[in-house]
Amino acid sequence: MTHEATQITSPTKPSEILLHLGPQHPLQPGPFLLDLKIEGETIREAELKIGYIHKGMEKVFEDRTYLQILPLTDRICYLASNSNNDVYCRGVEELLGIEPTERAKYLRVLTNELCRLQSHLLGIGEYATDVGFLTMFIYMVREREGVVSLLEAITGSRLNHNYARFGGVANDLPPGYKEMALKTLGELKKQVKSHDEMLSSDSIYLRRTKGVGVLTAKEAGELGVAGPPLRAAGVEYDLRRMEPYLVYDDLDFKVITQTDGDVFSRVKVRLLEILESIYIIEQCLDQMPSGPYKQDVTPYITRPKPGEVYARIEDPRGEMGMYIISDGSDKPYRFRIRGPAFATAQALPPLLVGGYVADVAAIAASMDSCTSEVDR
Amino acid sequence: MIDLQIIPFAIISIIMIGSSIMVVKSKEVVHSAFHCVIAMMSAAGFYVLLSAQFVAVVQILVYVGAIGVMILFAVMLTTRNQEVE
Amino acid sequence: MGDEKIDKTIMIELSNTFKDAVSDVDVPSPNRAVARIDPGKVKEIMQFLLDNGFDHLSCVSGVDYPPDKMEVVYHVTSYSAPLVITLKASLPRDDPNIDSLCGIYWNANWYERETYELYGIKFNDCPYMKVLLLIEEMEGEWPLRKDYAGYPDLT
Amino acid sequence: MAIIEIYDLIMHYLVIIFATNDFAPWIRGVLGGLVIGAVFGGALVMVYLERKFLGDMQSRIGPNRVGGRFGVLQLIADAIKLFTKEDIIPAKADKWLFIGAPIVALTSGFLMVAVIPFDLLVIKGNEYAVAVSRMDISILYLEAVSGLAIFATFMAGWGSSSKYAVLAAFRNVAKMIGYEIPLGITVISVAVMAHSLDIVEIVEAQSSIWFIIAQPLGFVVFFIALLADVGRIPFDQTEAEEELVAGWATEYSGMRWGLAFFAEYLHAVVGSFIVTLIFLGGWNGLPIVGNLYIPGIFWVIAKTIMVMMLFIWIRAALPRYRIDQVIDIGWKVLIPLALLNLVWSTIIGLLWA
Amino acid sequence: MAEIIDNFIPVAIFIVFGLVIPLAIMFIVKQISPRSKNPIKFTTYESGSVPTGSANMMFNVEYYAYAILFVLFDVELLFLYPWVTVYVNDSVTTPGFTTGFSILAMVLFMIVVLLGLVYEWKKGVLEWVR
């Protein structure tokens, strides 16, 4: 792995050509341009060019009030909209010096984990298509529908939830939610176990994934990735355990790690995390205290004291951080989004160098980068 | 029967001679390769006319199927002048 | 993992080692620490932090304080401890430039490129200082500066 | 009983028309167009089955709008769409190769159809194969003609002048040459047991025992090599959409793409026929029907559809190999296995004889 | 003799079909499909980027080993094809002799071929070039 492979040089040998994968290519969840210098089927150099859907969110947020920003945080990454709401609300709460109610904390953990479930399910599905396994994609999307319906039952929306509020959440659980959730999740657990078995025993799948795109713990640290790609390399780095926020301290869960750091491990980590998330959700539903789900007086018009905060959270893809500087007005002075997908995307080109063109899709999808968030 | 056989013989001959000329004349290496394949296939046609069907099929199997592919490989492996963009 | 040594004492060590380069050390919460650093010494300080277990550069951001000041904010953290160190380096607004961290933290590259294209802060020795997110024609407009005129103020 | 007599009568006259006069080859050749049409229809059926059953296996619905609940007319709608789409030849493409590729692919498929027998009729003590053309070396001929399909993919890929297509063309050539050999060796293993290179005689040799039972290893090797030869999952690297967009067909659009696509399915259908004929006993029926007389053509078609379903099932169940793994499997696994099977079938063949 | 040519008459007709049917279909398409003159439509697709450089690239010369191997095996297969029809041939006065002889000959031949394959395998010719 070369750490200098940020810039692609023009082909020198006659056997080398420059291959553009992007901005409109079937391997991509969103538009980005992957320039590859290939010789035969082997990749010699790789460069990732981003910015095709740059929305200028950081600039926009400086021009919106704190409450107006809240629904916009959904749009940072549509697959992790709940986590984004949550990290934003935690940041603003810290600036305001308030705490969410106990029930709201559980509700946020619940929705966060549901969000992680649906993101991982789609991530694995997308990944499966990239090794030509369309059936697994459809299965994963089928399982995901149940999870999304669970989210919809709470938040009223299937994709952009906008659920967290400063000091609480938007609404309480609907009646009979626990039974419905346990039924769906029980079914999901069974399905995911069977898919896990299928993916771990299929010889073609193993040959496509074992030892491909290896990211060792040391390299992963140097490349600055977090989340499943790092845990797949054996580093037990999970902010839910490291810096317990909300009620993760009271919940029992394992940090899933694998040792190999290859494509297989990354997908395996996600599969096992799905099971672990289901376990967390079950505990949440059991332990959830009664009480108000939001503060008595929700601070809708917020003028935090001057100050700054760096809030971070374990997103489905890694460490999601938001750095908010307040100058005492009703709009943030500076709003910085530190997305996990940005870090993962940056680490992609060095992983590809020396591999095959055929593995590009598998490696890229196993890193589970979200273009919407990379570009912001 | 001899009278009738002259017709396919003539057609195949024309194809073969034409493609053989094109092998030499054509500017693109790939075109030469494919014309060569066509010429070898017309040879198979001659064998059929001579009632040597085994030889005809072998001609297709070996010359077209194997040697032709080897020529294609050779085409893929040679350097070509890069076009001026 | 679980390196117990990595905690707030690093801030004391840091201010002891770089007496004249580190100022305004503040520890607002158990997991956060803030300090202001001298932009000329950023490489040495980062190398020191890296050697002391802060192996993860979380984020590099720029902040614009018109009329005369700009800041580069580094968030450095560790894979084995929850402490996030926020380091701020003030730069003059008319010619902001600072040493690049690409040689110390590999992943500083994209963050620095992003800060460059949005704020016009130059990172010396950065191997590939070019626009990342914006189109190339926008280089030089520095859209995230507070006095950027190209953004319609709708509210 | 009466039905069978009428059937025999019809067959009698057909044999007089198609087999026993001076112009018979010409008549068969021209009317062979109907056979092509039928096999083309078979390809359509396969496309439909694939979409429908793949949908079922993936818990989707599949075509369900055009032509009632099961979308039987979906392919007609697709054909109309393809016919009315614009035909685009890229400016940079090598025009002759680009246009020639679907033609070569289709011709190769047609030539394979020519020798496929569907039944063997015995009329007045004479045997007549229901085939457009009957050769003594038909299996060898099939081998040779199917090899022409390599050129089609190469022409399409090279002619498109697109990087994806060129990569796909290269992959295809590298893959095909690795799988032609195990294919050939297994075909020889079958011929060893039948002592003949004529498909009709190979099928007749299976009247007592099907070759899938006599040499299961050969069947497996042949089937895998056939999958690779017709380029279906897990061997569809030439069309690996996630890295090469649509592979060699990237620049093809409209009906030109439709032709290339149908040529591919034509090869798959003909491949299913070959599997049926040389391993699954062809028109030799299963004993379960007892004394009931069922025309052999029914058996051939039924078994062919079963093989096509197997193709579809495999497509739903397996991911795709990487190109270097494909070539490794071809050279390092299938060829040794095929040679082993050849030894086995020679021994069995000797004992049998 | 004439019979063999008779078998190939349909084949020749099929070649004509193969040439005519696609051209006829494309002719129909040309009549009923729309035409456009936009030059952008006729550019090569490269996922939305402007293609750079020539697409017709050169591959590593090591791949040529596969092609040569293929030719060798193809020719080797050809010896087997006629052999299969005649190897059980006991019309000679001593029963079993001809069969035994033909089997032995083929076994020797296959051993040589197999040795070649094993040799190439060991030499690493069958390794995909990185």
User: C105-146: per-residue pLDDT in tens?
Assistant: 888 888 888 888 888 888 887 777 777 888 777 777 788 888
Residues forming beta bridges with residue A47, ordered by sequence position? A35
Q: Residues near D214 by Cβ (< 8 Å), separated by ≥ 6? A: D193, D345, D348
Q: Is B1's pLDDT higher than 80?
A: no
Tell me if E55 sits within 8 A of D163, measured CB to CB. yes
Chain E partners within 8 Å of A27 (Cβ) = none
Q: Which residues of B touch D96 (CB under 8 A)?
A: 31
pTM of the model: 0.86
Does E67 contact B58 at a Cβ distance shorter than 8 Å?
Answer: no
**pLDDT confidence of residue A317:** 85
Q: Do E78 and E114 have their domain in common?
A: yes
Residue of C nearest to A53 (CA): C133
pLDDT, residue B21, reads 92
**Residue C2, pLDDT score:** 43
User: Which of A17, A23, A40 is the closest to E60 by Cβ?
Assistant: A40
Contact D145 B53 (CB under 8 A): no
Domains in chain C, start-ordered, CATH in brackets?
9-138 (3.30.460.80)
**Record: contact D161-E44, CB cut-off 8 A:** yes
For chain A, what are the domain ranges?
A: 57-215+280-339+357-375
The correct answer on CATH 3.40.1000.10 for the domain covering A57-215+280-339+357-375 is: no
CA distance E8 to D135: 8
pLDDT at residue B85 in the model: 37
Q: Does E69 lie in the same domain as E37?
A: no
Radius of gyration of chain B (CA): 16
C149 or A63: which leads in pLDDT: A63
Q: What is the pLDDT along chain A (376 residues), one digit of tens a residue?
A: 445 545 677 666 667 778 888 787 777 777 888 888 888 778 888 888 888 888 888 888 888 888 888 888 888 888 888 888 888 888 888 888 888 888 888 888 888 888 888 888 888 888 888 887 888 888 888 888 888 888 888 888 888 888 888 888 888 888 888 888 888 888 888 988 888 888 888 888 888 888 888 888 888 878 888 888 888 888 888 888 888 888 888 888 888 888 888 888 888 888 888 988 898 888 888 888 888 888 777 666 778 888 888 888 888 888 888 888 888 888 888 888 888 888 888 888 888 888 888 888 888 888 877 888 888 7
E51 CB neighbours in chain A (<8 A) are 20
Give the pLDDT confidence score for residue B14 in this predicted structure: 92
SS (H, E, C) chain A: CCCCCCCCCCCCCCCEEEEEECCCCCCCCCCCEEEEEEECCEEEEEEEECCCCCCCHHHHHCCCCHHHHHHHHHHHCHHHHHHHHHHHHHHHHHHHCCCCCHHHHHHHHHHHHHHHHHHHHHHHHHHHHHCCCHHHHHHHHHHHHHHHHHHHHHHCCCCCCCCEECCEECCCCCCCHHHHHHHHHHHHHHHHHHHHHHHHHCHHHHHHHCCCCCCCHHHHHHHCCCCHHHHHCCCCCCHHHHCCCCCHHHCCCCCCCCCCCCHHHHHHHHHHHHHHHHHHHHHHHHHCCCCCCCCCCCCCCCCCCCEEEEEEEEECCEEEEEEEEECCCCCEEEEEEECHHHHHHHCHHHHHCCCEHHHHHHHHHHHCCCHHHHHC
Chain C contact residues (CB < 8 Å to A): 1, 31-32, 55-59, 61, 63-64, 73, 75, 79-82, 84, 86, 105-107, 109-110, 118, 127-128, 131-135, 143-144, 148, 151, 153-155
Question: How many Cβ atoms sit within 10 Å of the Cβ of residue D164?
Answer: 30
Q: To probe the interface with B, which of E1, E5, E11, E76 has the most B CB atoms within 10 Å? A: E5
More confident residue, C42 or D224: D224
Both E66 and E114 in one domain: the answer is yes
Subunits with 3+ Cβ pairs within 8 Å of B are: D, E
Residue of E nearest to D179 (CA): E70
pLDDT value, residue A298:
67
Convert the pLDDT of each residue in B14-26 to its tens digit. 999 999 998 888 8
> A223, exposed or middle or buried, with CB in 10 Å at 0-12, 13-18, 19+?
buried
E119 and E66: one domain? yes
Total beta-carbon pairs less than 8 A apart between chain A and chain E: 43
CB atoms within 10 A of CB E15: 16
Please give the pLDDT value at position C1: 41
- Contact across the interface for D58 and A207, Cβ inside 8 Å: no
ipTM above 0.90, yes or no: no
Same domain assignment for residues E71 and E107: yes
Please check the confidence at residue D241 and state whether its pLDDT lies above 70. no
Specify the pLDDT at position B17.
93
Residue from the list D111, D181, D332 with its beta carbon closest to the beta carbon of E14? D111
Is position E57 within any domain? no
Do A335 and A69 contact (CB within 8 A), yes or no? Answer: yes
What's the domain range around E13? Answer: 2-42
CA distance C149 to D64: 55
Domains in chain B and their CATH numbers? 10-78 (1.20.120.1200)
The token pair that represents D102 in the structure block: 């679907």
Kindly tell me if the per-residue pLDDT of D152 is higher than 70: yes
Judge whether C115 and C63 are in contact, CB under 8 Å: no
Q: What amino acid is encoded at D103 in this protein?
A: I
For the residues D105-122, what does the mean pLDDT come to?
84
What pLDDT does residue A1 have? Answer: 40
Provide the domain count of chain E: 2
Q: A and D: touch, per 3+ CB pairs < 8 A?
A: yes
Position B18 scores a pLDDT of 92
